[in-house]
Amino acid sequence: MSKLWGGRFTKQTNALVEQYTASIGFDKQLAEEDIQGSLAHVSMLGKCGIVPQEDVESIKSGLNKVLERIRKGEIEFSVSDEDIHMNIEKNLIEEVGPVGGKLHTGRSRNDQVATDMHLYLRNRVVELTGMLHELQTALIGQAKDNLDTIIPGYTHLQRAQPILFAHHLMAYVSMFQRDIGRLIDSYKRINILPLGAGALAGTTFPIDRHFVAEQLGFDGVYENSLDAVSDRDFILEFLSDASMIMMHLSRLSEELVLWSSTEFNFIELDDAFCTGSSIMPQKKNPDVPELVRGKTGRVYGNLMGLFTVLKSLPLAYNKDMQEDKEGMFDTVATLEGALQLFAPMIATMKVNKGRMREAVNTDFSNATDIADFLVGKGLPFRQAHEVIGKTVLYCIQNNKFLLDLTLEEFQQFSPLFDDSIYQVLQPETVVNARNVYGGTATPQVKAAIDRAEQALSVSAEWIQAHSAGANK
């Protein structure tokens, strides 16, 4: 039999079965990780005296040659060899002879594939954290440039209260900081070694799992062999974290689309991140944020897909679990693609400060401050609320805004109004009146930027430290 596991079988595998069950079409992305794990495993086999050192060196040399050929694109992976593990092992045996068959001593494809995915996600989490760091840097840069830019703040997509545009941008910095925190926390559960669990019960060979973990830069090993080969929580956790990142990107995307429309005209995205129309030459379409908004659904789908695969699976490994990889690869590619574009798109975004100020001057988003003014004069808030409601209605009926009213017009609604109301209603006054921790006042936003930059320094240190560990 041509199969490496074919000794027990009397017939060749049906060709359709080979095509249907093979995973090499997608798990070839794990080639680097598979060889990385195999090098550590065979080193351990030599250290423990399970495989002669001469054979260990031959296998390691062969694995490095196979890796070099893969990197050069010289190896054609075969569906008949099912997956990346068998393809690499077959090429190894062709390279070094029957001694290559000793590599699989003391392990199974079950713990091998789990190890590959731990290695793969470990690297991706560090990379994605770095990309989020770059996006935060771009947002903070725009916030610093817009500490004097006032924009309408919205609830229900209706103008609510004026805020600093920098304050709005820093809200997303906070969201992405939570995302970074979740990725960093997930790393703890990703960076655990399953290798050595065998098919499900461990192995009869006197292996040293902790040595392998040290060689690969893992923080520890799985305590239970059944759990080691069947656990996919770490992938679910990553997909969940990725879904939240995409949700945050989608929310920002929606605002970029709105803000760049003629109706808002608050921003202009750089030409490099927009496309045109095949029929309407005047069009400049915000395709990048639109597509990110759309691709969020596929990331959600990958999360729910794996949840569904794992539902009711008995211990330990089942072939169903082969379905854990394509969604993971797709999510990584989708998220990396979005983040690679978002940071430079935000950094090159032009802000129409004049249009934002015009919008603030032509609405009633400063109405709450009139109520606060009257409360300060001793009027109960509920009565003040009613007074301002009637004042706003009067403005609407007379095609005016609050700052257009004369003092006499104000005083027909309450004798408590005086000339100071005009300073109270100025957008800068309204914004800076909210000088509480987390508020939109300029000093508070500057402080928030300082705190965010301190957090960036911490995450940069983590990225640097774990980039070295992930590439060990």
- Rounded Cα distance between 469 and 349, Å, is 36
Helices (H) and strands (E) in the chain, counts: 19, 6
Catalytic position from the list 156, 278, 420, 457: 156
Q: Is-catalytic flag, 466? A: no
Chain centroid to CA 419: 51
List the chain domain ranges.
15-105, 110-353, 364-434
Q: Is-catalytic flag, 156? A: yes
Nearest to 342 by CA among 173, 195, 164: 173
What is the total residue count of the chain?
472
Burial tier of 17 (Cβ tally within 10 Å: 0-12, 13-18, 19+): exposed
- Rounded Cα distance between 135 and 414, Å, is 49
Tokens 């974290």 found at: 241
CATH superfamily of the domain spanning 364-434:
Fumarase/aspartase (C-terminal domain) (1.10.40.30)
Enumerate the H helices of 48-108 as residue ranges: 53-71, 84-96
Model's pTM, two decimal places?
0.93
3-state secondary structure of 457: helix
Tokens 């060899």 found at: 81
Per-residue pLDDT of the chain (472 residues; tens, 9 = 90+): 466 666 777 778 788 887 777 888 989 999 999 999 999 999 999 999 999 999 999 999 999 999 999 999 999 999 888 899 999 999 999 999 999 999 999 999 999 999 999 999 999 999 999 999 999 999 999 999 999 999 999 999 999 999 999 999 999 999 999 999 999 999 999 999 999 999 999 999 999 999 999 999 999 999 999 999 999 999 999 999 999 999 999 999 999 999 999 999 999 999 999 988 888 888 899 999 999 999 999 999 999 999 999 999 999 999 999 999 999 999 999 999 999 999 999 999 999 999 999 999 998 999 989 999 999 999 999 999 999 999 999 999 999 999 999 999 999 999 999 999 999 999 999 999 999 999 999 999 999 999 999 999 999 999 999 996 555 4
Integer CA distances (angstroms), 272 to 268, 285, 299, 345, in order: 11, 11, 25, 8
Q: What kind of architecture, by CATH, is found in domain 15-105? A: Orthogonal Bundle (1.10)
Cβ atoms within 10 Å, residue 166? 25
CATH superfamily of the domain spanning 110-353:
Fumarase/aspartase (Central domain) (1.20.200.10)
